[in-house]
Amino acid sequence: MNDGPTGTRSPLPATNGSKRVKVLLLAGILAVLLILPVFSGPSYLLHVLILTFIYIVAAVSFRTITISGQFSISHAGFMGLGAYASGMAAKWLGWPTWITVPLAGIVAMFIGSVVAYPFSRLRAMYYAMGSLFCGVALIDIIASGRSLTGGYAGLSGIPPLFISRISYYYFFLVIGLASVVALYRFEFSRIGVTLKAIAQSHVVASSVGINESRYRVLVVGVGCFFVGLIGACYGHYNRVLSPISFSLGTTLWIIMYALVGGIGSFAGPIIGTVILVLIPNFAGQLKGYLPFVSGVILLIIAYLMPQGLVGLPHAIRNRRSRGGGIGSNLYP
C-alpha cells in the first residue's frame, strides 16, 4: 500500500519560440473574452462561461494542493463552506457583500488550515481518504443546520452582487484571472518549489530543514482560500445553495477536470475544465445524455493520453521523432 496518488509529474519542456506563441495565444483568448458580451448579450453562453470560470479556479486551486503531494478529495466541501459562509452572513446578518465574499475565503482558509494540521501526519492513500471524509463531513454539518442553513432544502434568498449577467461575467472574469495569476505566482515561487520538494521526498525535505507539516498546512490554506472565495461568488451569483451541489460527486468532477487536462502542468486544469464544462453544455437537445459525453471523454483521455490533454503535443512530437504512438507509454 505504498503507491500513493501521484501528484505532479515533471513539466514538459518548453522552448523560447513556443513561449512567444503561448503569450500571443493567451492575449488573443483574453481579448475575445473581453469583447464577447458586446456581441452575445446576456445569453446562455455567458452563463456557461461564468460556470467555466468558477470551476477553473476550483480545479487550479485543487492542483495547487496536489503539488505538495497531498491528494485532497474535499475541494467541493470547502467551496460549499465559502458559499454558505458568505450567503449566511449576507442574508442573516445583513453584512455588505463586498465584506462577506473575502471573509468567506478567509473562513475557508482558516477551517482548511485547522483541519489540515492534524491531517498532515497522514500520507498518500490515507490522506486522500481522510480528506474525502472531511469534505463529506463539512457538507453533512452544513446539511444539519436546520433553518440556519436550510438543510437539504437549501439556502435561498441570498443577496445578489449585481443586477445584470454582463456585470457578473466581467466580475467572474476578473476574479478568475486574478486567482489564476496569484496561484501561478504561488506555484513558481520559493514556496512552490519547496512544496514540490516535499512531494518528491518528505524525508529529504525534512533533512534540509524544511518544516514539512507547516508547508503542507500552508498550501491547503491557500487552496481553500481561493476555492472558498470563488464558492462565495458562486453563491451570490446562483442565489440558491443546496448541500447536494457540493457533495462528493462535485469534488470528484473537480478532480476529473484537473486530470483530463493533465495534473502535471499548470495549464492542465484550465484546459480540462474548458473541455468538460464548456463543450458538453452546447449539446442542446441532448441535455440528458451529457454525462455520457463526459464519461466518454474521461475514457478517451485515460486510455490514450496518460499525461492528460496537455501532454498531447509532446506525445505527437515523440511519435514523429521516435515512432512511438500516442499511447506508447500505456504499457511501460
Partner 1 sequence: MEQELIQTATNILILAAIYILMGLGFAFILNLLNVFNLAHGAVFMTAGYVCYLFITQAGINHWIAFPLTVVLIGLLGIFLERFCFRPFLGDFNRTTMVCVAITVILSTAMNLWLGSQVIAIPAFIPGVVGVMPFATQWDRLLIFFSSAGILILVMLFVNRTKWGMQMQAISQNVEGAALQGIHFGHIAATACAVGCALAAIAGVFAGAIYNLSPFMGDLTLLKVLILVVLAGVGSFGGIFIMGLIMGAVYAGLPMLIPGAASEAVATVIVITILLIRPRGFFGHE
Beta bridge partners of 155: 241
CB of 295 to partner 1, least distance (A): 4
Q: What is the DSSP letter of 160?
A: P
Helix (H, G, I), strand (E, B) or coil at 67: coil
CB of 117 to partner 1, least distance (A): 10
**Of all helices (H) and strands (E), which one includes residue 227?**
helix 212-238
Asked if residues 2 and 124 have their Cβ atoms less than 8 Å apart, the reply is yes
Q: Per CB under 8 A, does 98 bind partner 1? A: no
Q: Per CB under 8 A, does 274 bind partner 1? A: no
CB of 305 to partner 1, least distance (A): 10
**Among the listed residues 227, 218, 217, 183, the one whose alpha carbon sits nearest the alpha carbon of residue 82:** 227
- The residue from 31, 148, 296, 316 that contacts partner 1 (CB under 8 A) is 296
Asked if residues 204 and 69 have their Cβ atoms less than 8 Å apart, the reply is no
Q: Per CB under 8 A, does 60 bind partner 1? A: no
Helix (H, G, I), strand (E, B) or coil at 116: helix
Q: Per CB under 8 A, does 304 bind partner 1? A: no
Query: Which residues from 204-263 bind partner 1, rule CB under 8 A?
Result: 248-249, 252, 255-256, 259-260, 263
CB of 91 to partner 1, least distance (A): 20
Q: Which is nearer to partner 1, 100 or 307 (CB)?
A: 307
Q: Quote the CA–CA distance of 8 and 39 in Å, as a whole number.
A: 40
Q: Per CB under 8 A, does 102 bind partner 1? A: no
Q: Which is nearer to partner 1, 302 or 316 (CB)?
A: 302
Name the segment binding partner 1 (CB under 8 A); options: 15-23, 146-154, 165-173, 209-217: 146-154
Beta bridge partners of 241: 155
Q: Which is nearer to partner 1, 181 or 304 (CB)?
A: 304
Residue count at the site for partner 1 (CB under 8 A)?
49
Number of Cβ within 10 Å of residue 119's Cβ equals 22
Helix (H, G, I), strand (E, B) or coil at 202: helix
Name the segment binding partner 1 (CB under 8 A); options: 19-27, 33-41, 87-95, 138-146: 138-146
**Among the listed residues 37, 286, 276, the one whose alpha carbon sits nearest the alpha carbon of residue 171:** 37
Provide φ and ψ at 157, rounded to 5°: 75, 35
Provide φ and ψ at 241, rounded to 5°: -120, 140
Q: Per CB under 8 A, does 39 bind partner 1? A: no
Number of Cβ within 10 Å of residue 99's Cβ equals 13
- Per-residue contact flags (x/-) with partner 1 for residues 276 to 295, judged by CB under 8 A: ------------xx-xx-xx
Beta bridge partners of 240: 156
Q: Which is nearer to partner 1, 141 or 240 (CB)?
A: 141
Q: Which residues bind partner 1 (CB under 8 A)?
A: 1, 3-6, 71, 118-119, 121-122, 125-126, 129-130, 132-134, 136-137, 140-141, 143-144, 146, 151-152, 248-249, 252, 255-256, 259-260, 263, 288-289, 291-292, 294-296, 298-299, 301-303, 306, 330-331
